[in-house]
Amino acid sequence: MRRWTALLLAVLAIACGGGADGATRRTIIDSRDNYDPRSLDPALSTDVPTGRAVGYLFDGLTRFTPEASVEPALATRWDVSPGGDIYTFHLRRGVHFSDGTPFVARQVALSWQRVLDPKVKGGRGWPLYPIKGAKEFADGKSSRIDGLAVPDDSTIVVTLKEPFAIFPKLLAMPVASIAPDRIPANFGEAPVGTGPWKLVEWKHDDYLLFAPNRKYWGTVPRADSLKARIIAEPSTAVAEFESGNVDVLQIPQGDIQSWQEDTERKKLLHSTPSLELVYVAINTTRGPLRDVRVRQALNMAIDRRILVRNLIAGRGDLASGVIPPSLPGGVKTRIGYQFDTLQAKKLLREAGYPNGIDVDLWTSTNPIYVRIAETLQGYFQLSGIRAKIVQRESAAAREAARKGQADLFVKDWYADYPDAENFLYPLLHSANKGVGGNVSYFQNAQFDSLVTSARREQDETKRVALYTQADQLAFEQAPMVFLYFYNELNAVQPWIKGFVPPVIFNGQPWTTVTKTTVGK
Amino acid sequence: MTAFIIRRLLLSIPTLFGVLVVAFLLLYVAPGDPVMAMVGERADEATIARLRAELRLDDPLPVQFGHYIAGIAKGDLGKSYITNRPIRKDILERFPKTLQLAGAAMLLATVLGVTLGVLSARHPGGLMDRFGLAVAYLGISFPVYWVGLLLILLFAVTLHWLPPSGFGGIRYLALPALALGMRSIAFLARMTRSAMLDALGADYVRTARAKGLSEFLVVGRHALRNAMIPIITVLGLDFGAYLTGSILTETIFSWPGLGRYVVNAIARRDLPAIQGSVLFLSAVFVLVNLITDIAYAKADPRVSYN
C-alpha cells in the first residue's frame, strides 16, 4: 500500500504541475452565469445568461450604462412627435456587422418582426407590443407591423399604439437587439452582430469565449478576450474566485456575512443598488386575503428589520412600496409597516377573524426563499396567522402562483429596464394578472388609471408624481408583504480595473475593463 | 454466445419502449409547463396559447406520443423547446464527457477498491483491514456533494494543486473522478474483502498453497479470480449509474456532461430534451448490463449462456 500511495502522489504531482495564476492570465473571466444560455439569438433572449451574452455581441437602438441610465447606441438620437406616439430614430452611419454587412434601417424592422414571429418561438414579444400593429402581427392577425416605416437607410419611424414615454428604455433590452438580414438556422450558435465582442467559441455548460470586435463603432474592448464561465454551484464559483481563476464573483446570499467580516476579502467587494424587489405576493382573490385589513395585518405581523439583518446580513433596503428607492418615483421617506402583533391581531379581529386565519405559504426550493418562508411562518404565528409552507421546485411553484392557486408566494422581481413602470405595471396592473406578472391578482381601478396615465404622460415630473401616487396606493392596499430591495454584492479581483457591477444585468459591456498582468 | 447477445438486444426494445411510455406519462403528470419556462417572468395569454399550438402541446396525449415515436423511429430525437437545437447533437456533445468522468471514476474504484479489499482480506483484523474499514465507512456515509466540496477546498483552494472545476485534461478530471468514485471504492473494498475471505478459506486455495505456489499467485490467480463475480456485478451496476450522468458531481465540478444537461432540461420542462436523454441513457444502461453478463462468462467458466 505504501508503494501505491507514493505512486499516486507522484502521478498527482506530475499532473498538477503548478496551477494557472490569476495575475498572469490575460483573458478576463466572469463567473456570474449559473446556467447555459438558451441561445445567442437575440429573439430567444428571455433569461439572464442569454441576455448578458447577447448584449456583448449585439447592439440595440439604445443601451444601458452600468449605472442604468439609457444612452444612444445604434440610434444616435430620436425625435418624438408632439402627441408622444411617433418616434423617429436617426441611426448611426458606417456601422458594420461582424461579417462585414453594413447596418441599415431595414434590419431594425426585420429584427423586431422576427422577435414577434410565432415561428421563431422566442416567447418574449412584450417589449415591442407598444408598437402599433405589433400585437396583431404576433397573434397572426396581420401580416405586417403597421407601426414600422423605413423612409431611408438611416431612419426608422416607429408609430406607437398610444403615447408611451419610456419606450426608448425598452429598446435597450437584449430582445430588441438588431440582427442582420439573413438569419441562418444555426444563428443561435454562430451569431453575427454589431456589438463590441465577437464569439470565438461556445462550449455548452462550460464557457463562452469572446474576442474584441476590432471594427466596433464605439470603444473597442481593451482586454485581450473575455470568457463567461458557466458555474452551476455557487460554492464552486467562490472556490474558483479564491483560487484566482475567475475575476468577478457574485457573492451567494448565504455567504455575505463571512465576506463582510473578513478584512482581506472585504476590500474586493462592490455593492450595487440592484433593482430587485423581494416580496410575498398575496393573492387578493382568495378567502380572507380579499380583505385589505388582513393583508395589512400580514405586513405588520413580521419584523423585516430582523429578517434582513439575519438572513442577508443587512444587505436590503426595507420596502414600503414596489418602486426601488434608487429610481425616480420611489419614496425613501415613506414609513413602512411596523412590526406590531397587537395591531395585526386587532386588524384580523376587525376583519372578522378573531381566531386568526390559515394560509398556504408557497416557496420555491431556492434556499434563501425557504429561509424567508420559515422566518415568516414563525412571525405569523405570533399574530394568529397559521401558515403552512408549501415548497415546490421553482417551475411548479411559479406555475401555481400564476394560476392563482397560491395564497402567499415568496418571490422576487428583477427589473428589465430602470423605470418605476417596470414594477408598477407588471406586478400590480390588472392587465397583467397571472402570467403577466401580477400574481397578487390585484385589481384596483384607481391604481390602474394612475399607472395607465403615467405610461402615457410625456412630462417626466408629472409622470414621476403619478408613479409615486400609484405606489402609495399599492402600499395602502397591501397586495403583497413588502420585504426588501436586495443590494447585490460582487467581488472583483484586485488586478481588474474599470469594472463596475451593472445595475441592470446587460449594462456592462466590459469595453473599458482591463486586467493588469504581473510578471509579464 | 452470439445468439444470447442477439436475444438480449431484441428484448431490450420492449424495455426501452416501456421506459419511453413511463417517461412520457410522468412528464405530463408532473406540474410545470414548458411554455412557462420559454416565456420567462412576464408574458401574455395569447403568446402562451400560440406557443402551445406551435409545439403541439394541446394535441391529445396519444397523438403527441405517436408523433414522438414516429420521430424516434426515423432516428430523430427532436429539437429542444428552449434552445431550438437538435437533441441528438446535444447528447452526442455531452456523452463523451460523462463517459470520460465515469470511466475515470470506475478506474479509480477498481484499482483502489479491489486493492484495498485484497489487502484487507489477507490479514483480517489487522491494521490494513481496520484502515480499509474506516475508508469504507467514510466513503459510503459521506454524500458526494460534501466530499466534492471538501476535495475542492483541500486540493484547489488550500494546496493549489488542481483547478477547482471545469473541463479539460487530467488535472480537471482528478477531483470529480475521485468524488464520484468514492462510494464505489468503499463498496468494492468491502465486497472484495468478503469475497476474498470466502475464497481464501476454500479447498482449492489450500491445494494451491500445498503445491508450493507463491503467495502472489495464490491470491492473485486462484482466490481473486473466484472472487470476481460479485465484484463485476457491483462494477457493472455502478458504471451504469455513473454513465447516466452523475448529476451532483457534474454540478459541483462544473463538468459539462449529460447529468447537468438533464437537470437543466428538467428545470425548464424541456420535454423533448428530457425524453431524448432518458431514452439514450436507458439504452446505455441496458448495454452496460449486457456487457456485465458477458463478463461473468469470461470470469467464471461455470457460467454459460448457451
CA A153 from centroid of its chain's CA atoms: 33
CB neighbours of A24 closer than 8 A, spacing ≥ 6? A517, A518, A519, A520
Interface contact flag, A436 B85, Cβ < 8 Å:
no
Interface contact flag, A435 B94, Cβ < 8 Å:
no
What distance in Å separates residue B52's CA from the closest CA in chain A? 10
Domains and CATH numbers, chain B: 87-299 (1.10.3720.10)
Cα B63 to Cα A66: distance, rounded to the nearest angstrom:
50
Closest CA to B156 of A108, A271, A240: A240
* Greatest pairwise CA separation for chain A in angstroms: 86
Cα A281 to Cα A274: distance, rounded to the nearest angstrom:
20
Which stretches of chain B drop beneath a pLDDT of 70?
244-245, 305-306
Interface contact flag, A395 B36, Cβ < 8 Å:
yes
Cα A380 to Cα A386: distance, rounded to the nearest angstrom:
7
B35 to chain A: nearest residue by CA? A123
CB contacts, 8 Å: A126 with chain B? 42-44, 47
pLDDT digits (tens, 9 = 90+) for A342-351: 999 999 999 9
A5 to chain B: nearest residue by CA? B112
pLDDT in tens, chain A (520 residues): 445 555 555 444 444 444 445 767 889 999 999 999 999 999 999 899 999 999 999 999 999 999 989 999 999 999 999 999 999 999 999 999 999 999 999 999 999 999 999 888 888 899 999 999 999 999 889 999 999 999 999 999 999 999 999 999 999 999 999 999 999 999 999 999 999 999 999 999 999 999 999 999 999 999 999 999 999 999 999 999 999 999 999 999 888 999 999 999 999 999 988 799 999 999 999 999 999 999 999 999 999 999 999 999 999 999 999 999 989 999 888 999 999 999 999 999 999 999 999 999 999 999 999 999 999 999 999 999 999 999 998 888 998 999 999 999 999 999 999 999 999 999 999 999 999 999 999 999 999 999 999 999 999 999 999 999 999 999 999 999 999 999 999 999 999 999 999 999 999 999 999 998 764 4
Q: Which three cell numbers stand for residue A264?
A: 482581506
A392 to chain B: nearest residue by CA? B31
| Among B residues 239-278, those touching chain A with beta carbons less than 8 Å apart | 251-254, 256-257, 260-261, 264, 267-269
Q: Taking phi first (over 0 means left), then psi (-120 to 50 degrees means alpha), and beta for anything else, what does residue A40 get?
A: alpha
User: What confidence score (pLDDT) does residue A518 get?
Assistant: 61
pLDDT digits (tens, 9 = 90+) for B45-72: 888 888 888 888 888 888 888 888 888 8
Check if the beta carbon of residue A266 is closer than 8 Å to that of residue A491.
Answer: no
CB neighbours of B174 closer than 8 A, spacing ≥ 6? A12, A15, B155, B162
CB contacts, 8 Å: B47 with chain A? 123, 125-126, 138
H-assigned helices in chain B:
2-29, 34-39, 45-54, 61-73, 87-108, 115-122, 127-141, 144-151, 170-200, 203-210, 215-217, 224-243, 247-252, 258-267, 271-299
Type of residue at A145: I
Which residues pair with residue A155 across a beta bridge? A90, A152
What are the CB-based long-range contacts (under 8 Å, 24+) for B129-135? B129/B193, B132/B189, B132/B190, B132/B193, B135/B185, B135/B186, B135/B189
pLDDT digits (tens, 9 = 90+) for A33-49: 999 999 999 999 989 99
| Among B residues 52-111, those touching chain A with beta carbons less than 8 Å apart | 54-55, 81-85, 90, 93-94
Cα A455 to Cα A162: distance, rounded to the nearest angstrom:
9
Q: Taking phi first (over 0 means left), then psi (-120 to 50 degrees means alpha), and beta for anything else, what does residue A257 get?
A: alpha
User: What confidence score (pLDDT) does residue B66 get?
Assistant: 87
What distance in Å separates residue B300's CA from the closest CA in chain A? 28
DSSP A435: G
Q: What is the predicted ipTM?
A: 0.88
CB neighbours of A276 closer than 8 A, spacing ≥ 6? A412, A413, A414, A415, A485, A486, A488
Cα B228 to Cα B199: distance, rounded to the nearest angstrom:
10
User: What confidence score (pLDDT) does residue A114 get?
Assistant: 95
Check if the beta carbon of residue A82 is closer than 8 Å to that of residue A217.
Answer: no
- What is the helix, strand, coil percentage profile of chain A, to 5? 35, 20, 45
Which residues pair with residue A360 across a beta bridge? A388
Type of residue at B296: Y
CA distances from B19 to A60, A241, B70, B278 (A): 46, 42, 16, 8
Check if the beta carbon of residue A122 is closer than 8 Å to that of residue A43.
Answer: yes
